[in-house]
Homo-oligomer: A and B are copies of this chain.
Amino acid sequence: MLLPVSTWQDIERWLTKSRTIVIPIGSMEQHGPNGFIGTDALCPEIIARHAESLAPDDILVGPTFNVGCAQHHLGFPGTITLRPTTMIAAMTDWTESLMRHGFERLYWYNGHGGNIHTIEAAFSEIHARRSFDPRGEDNRPGLSLKRRDWWDFRDVMGLCNKLYPVGHGSHATASEVSVTYHAYPDRARPEVEMSPKIAPNGKIGDAVQYRRDFPDGRIGSDPTQSNAEDGGKIVEAAAKAMLEDVARFSA
Q: A7 and B31: CB pair below 8 A?
A: yes
Closest residue of B by beta carbon distance from A120: B117
Residues of B with C-beta under 8 A to A145 = 205
| CB-contact partner of A7 in B3, B11, B35, B208, under 8 A | B35
8 Å CB contacts to B: which residues of A1-57?
Answer: 3-12, 14-15, 28, 30-38, 41-42
Distance of A198 from chain B, by nearest CB (Å): 19
What residues on B are CB-neighbors of A116 within 8 Å?
117
User: In chain A between 134 and 182, which residues have their CB closer than 8 angstroms to a CB of chain B?
Assistant: 134, 137, 140, 142-145, 180
Cα distance A194–B122 in the bound complex, in angstroms: 34
Q: Which residues of B contact A28 (CB under 8 A)?
A: 3-4, 63
The answer to whether A4 and B38 touch across the interface, beta carbons within 8 angstroms, is: yes
Contact of A80 among B14, B62, B122, B217 (CB under 8 A): B62
